[in-house]
Amino acid sequence: MRHLRNLFLVCFILAAAGATLLSLPASASAQDASAGRALFKDKGCGACHSKGFGRLIGPDLQGVKDRVPDRKALASFIRDPKAMNDAYSVKIREEYKDLMPAQSGMTDSELEQIIDFLFSSETYGTPKVNIPKDDATIELGRQYFTGEARFVNAGPPCVSCHTIDGVGGFGGGSLASGVGSQFTSLNKAHERNGGDAGLFAALSDPQFLVMKNAFAEKPLNEQEVIALTAFLGSVSSNADAEEGGLGMMILFVILSLLGTGLLIFAFDRIWSKRFRNVRKNLVGEVA
């Protein structure tokens, strides 16, 4: 009887030890996934991607584990998307217009933790936000864009760096062209950024370098983001939106020509009244 009791005790201890050992990798993996989820947010990945909540600016990363060849391939793509030439990488770059920047500043450890999260069952993102399409919300968004209505946290108006159809004058600034000419005009920003959900995410946590710095200490609040999303969506839905920039360009050329003509006329009038050499005329008269 004693032998049976001892045997049972030994089996129980071995089973408990085995269960403990088996749980260690899972526990470590869960911790890595949680750390990776936090990094996914802190590194700005969540501004362009969700995991399980649909497309934003970039693709939904739910199930990416089954779409890429392996961890190494995904790590290489994150490091430098344009350097990857496998079929899936090429497809993604073409579909999303090469928008994803290289993540050269991310450490190997951070990258591995983010991939742990992407390969896990955890999700990331927010449910789709309802963007009103009424005239009042769209008009408020237009005023935020032009600076007629000031942002609560005193961030710069969009028109400082971007142009868009329907804001009058020359349509706005061109600083965003330093990132890429396609980012200067926001006529199609709503479409380019994946609709309401993508644009809402991009404005809530901007990752373009100039915007990121400009709004780091002066973030937009939810009301401002909703109004801007509604306005940009309204412009994008206009079939003639892409022609707005052409109209502004024509106006600029016409005004430039008129200004040049006026300057030439003014200089001509000034030159005609200049002090002339009278000695030659006087000598000629005496002779």
Over residues 51-100, the pLDDT tens digits come to 999 999 999 999 999 999 999 999 999 999 998 988 889 999 999 888 88
Domains along the chain with CATH numbers = 29-118 (1.10.760.10), 135-242 (1.10.760)
Average pLDDT over the chain, rounded to an integer? 80
Alpha-carbon distance of 110 to 116, in angstroms, equals: 10
Per-residue model confidence (pLDDT) at position 131: 95
pLDDT by residue (tens digit) across 212-269? 899 999 999 999 999 999 999 999 887 444 444 555 556 656 777 887 878 887 776 7
Alpha-carbon distance of 115 to 110, in angstroms, equals: 9
Is the predicted pLDDT of residue 27 greater than 50, yes or no? no
Alpha-carbon distance of 129 to 218, in angstroms, equals: 22
Q: List the Cα angle 153/216/229 in 5-degree steps.
A: 65
Let me know: does 235 contact 186? Beta carbons within 8 Å.
Answer: yes
Q: Give the CA distances from residue 120 to residues 31, 35, 116, 196, in Å, rounded to whole numbers and listed in that order.
A: 11, 12, 6, 27
The predicted model gives 4-13 an average pLDDT of 53
SS3 104: coil
Is the predicted pLDDT of residue 13 greater than 60, yes or no? no
Is the predicted pLDDT of residue 161 greater than 50, yes or no? yes
Alpha-carbon distance of 142 to 128, in angstroms, equals: 22
Q: List the Cα angle 89/177/85 in 5-degree steps.
A: 15
pTM given for the model? 0.68
The enclosing H or E element of 93 equals: helix 87-95
